[in-house]
A = this chain, B = another copy of it.
Amino acid sequence: MTQLEEQPTAKETPLVPIEKVVALSKRRGFVYPNSEIYGGVAGIYDFGPLGVELRNNIRRYWWWSMVQLHDNVVGIEGANITHPRVWEASGHVENFVDRLTECANCKRRFRIDHLPEENWEQKKCPNCGGKLGEPRNFNLLMETYLGVVEGERMKTYLRGEACQNIYLDYDNVLKSSRVQVPFGICQIGKAYRNEVTPGNFLFRQREFEQWDLQFFVHPSEMQQWFDYWKEFRFNWYHSIITHKDRLRFRPHAADELAHYAKQAFDIEYRTILGWQEWEGIHWRQDWDLSRHSQYSGQDLSYTDPITKERYIPWIVETSGGVDRTFLNLLLDAYEEEPDPSGRESETRTVLHLNPMLAPVKVAVLPLQKNKEELVTTAKTLHKKLQRLMVAQYDEVQNIGRRYRRQDEIGTPYCVTIDFTTLEDQTVTVRERDTTAQTRIHMEELPMYLLERVTWK
Contact of A77 among B47, B76, B156, B388 (CB under 8 A): B47
Contact between A79 and B32, CB atoms less than 8 A apart: no
Q: List 19 A-B contacts (CB under 8 A).
A: A29-B173, A34-B78, A34-B79, A34-B83, A34-B165, A37-B300, A38-B86, A38-B295, A41-B146, A47-B77, A48-B173, A49-B176, A53-B75, A55-B77, A56-B63, A69-B386, A80-B80, A142-B146, A144-B144
User: How close is A30's CB to chain B, nearest CB, in angstroms?
Assistant: 8
Residue count of chain A within 8 Å CB distance of chain B: 82
Binds B, one of A118-126, A189-197, A345-353: A189-197
Question: A67-78: contact bitstring with B at CB < 8 Å (1 yes, 0 no)?
Answer: 011010011111
State in angstroms the CA–CA spacing of A81 and B205 once bound together: 12
Copies of this chain in the oligomer: 2
Contact between A176 and B36, CB atoms less than 8 A apart: no
State in angstroms the CA–CA spacing of A432 and B409 once bound together: 43
Contact of A75 among B52, B139, B148, B172 (CB under 8 A): B52
User: How close is A136's CB to chain B, nearest CB, in angstroms?
Assistant: 9
Q: Which A residues, 1 to 28, have Cβ-Cβ distances below 8 Å to chain B?
A: 26-28
Question: When A49-B76, A386-B69, A387-B69 are in contact, do A32 and B148 touch as well, CB less than 8 Å?
Answer: no
Interface status of A168 (Cβ within 8 A of chain B) = yes
Add 6 more A-B contacts to A46-B165, A142-B145 (CB < 8 A): A34-B82, A36-B172, A68-B386, A98-B148, A146-B206, A158-B158
Measured CB to CB, the nearest residue on chain B to A80 is: B207
User: How close is A101's CB to chain B, nearest CB, in angstroms?
Assistant: 12
Question: A107-139: contact bitstring with B at CB < 8 Å (1 yes, 0 no)?
Answer: 001000000000000000000000000000011
State in angstroms the CA–CA spacing of A143 and B81 once bound together: 12
Contact between A48 and B32, CB atoms less than 8 A apart: no
Contact between B144 and A177, CB atoms less than 8 A apart: no
User: How close is A290's CB to chain B, nearest CB, in angstroms?
Assistant: 13
